[in-house]
Amino acid sequence: MAEDKIYIGKAIFSWQIKEYEGGKKSNRWFLIIGLICFALIILAIFTANFLFAIIILLFVFVVVLREFYIPEYFTFKITDSGIVIGSKFYSFKDIKNFFVVYEPPDSKYLYFRLKSVSPLLSINLDDQNPIKVREYLLQYLEEDLDREEEAFADTINRLLKL
């Protein structure tokens, strides 16, 4: 049986994005985070908040595991009918709006809010011209002019190098 093909359109913009940004962490970073987590675990034990202690331990476990995991690269495309992230296609009709945060060198993100209940899609603009990307997307999507700052999660990830 032949598989139905979805028309994803002609690629107008295309670039590689990392699964997650992260960054090389120094021994000092691990020492500071380790001391903070240790203090929080001690506090959780003294206040009999064992669930909080388990959450902190899980955080430490994930951070350590992530150091040994090499993030994958995906191809991101803006086409004449939607966006493609790796093998996942989002039609323009499935996207509520978008906004661009461009404050180099720290914040260079393109955000999409889907119509379905989901968090923002955050795409690193890398070396793309944000003006050209924005002008193209305005043909198909509404821009969220109220949003001028990067998402809180992206700020935390960048500052903590997660």
pLDDT in tens, 89-113: 989 999 999 989 887 777 788 889 8
In a domain, 114, yes or no: yes
Question: Does 123 lie in the same domain as 95?
Answer: yes
State the residue range of the domain holding 91: 11-18+73-145
In a domain, 4, yes or no: no
User: How far is 130 from 109, CA to CA, in rounded Å?
Assistant: 9
Residue among 145, 157, 139 at smallest CA distance from 12: 139
Question: Does 57 lie in the same domain as 39?
Answer: yes
User: 71 with 161: CB under 8 angstroms?
Assistant: no
Q: Is the pTM of this model over 0.75?
A: no
Question: Does 126 lie in the same domain as 63?
Answer: no
Residue among 96, 98, 108 at smallest CA distance from 135: 98
Question: Does 132 lie in the same domain as 101?
Answer: yes
Strands (E), 19-106: 73-79, 82-85, 88-91, 95-103
Mean pLDDT value across the chain: 83
Specify the higher pLDDT residue, 126 or 45: 45
In a domain, 152, yes or no: no
pLDDT in tens, 110-162: 889 888 877 788 888 888 899 999 999 999 999 888 777 766 766 666 666 65
The segment with the largest mean pLDDT, out of 2-6, 24-28, 125-129, 135-139, is 135-139
Question: Does 138 lie in the same domain as 81?
Answer: yes
- What pLDDT sits at residue 7? 65
Identify the CATH number of the domain in which residue 86 sits: 2.30.29
Question: Does 79 lie in the same domain as 119?
Answer: yes
Question: Does 141 lie in the same domain as 79?
Answer: yes
Question: Does 128 lie in the same domain as 87?
Answer: yes
Question: Does 89 lie in the same domain as 60?
Answer: no
Q: Tell me: pLDDT of 4 over 60.
A: no
Question: Does 113 lie in the same domain as 57?
Answer: no
User: 16 with 85: CB under 8 angstroms?
Assistant: no
Q: How many domains does the chain have?
A: 2
Question: Does 78 lie in the same domain as 138?
Answer: yes
In a domain, 3, yes or no: no
In a domain, 151, yes or no: no
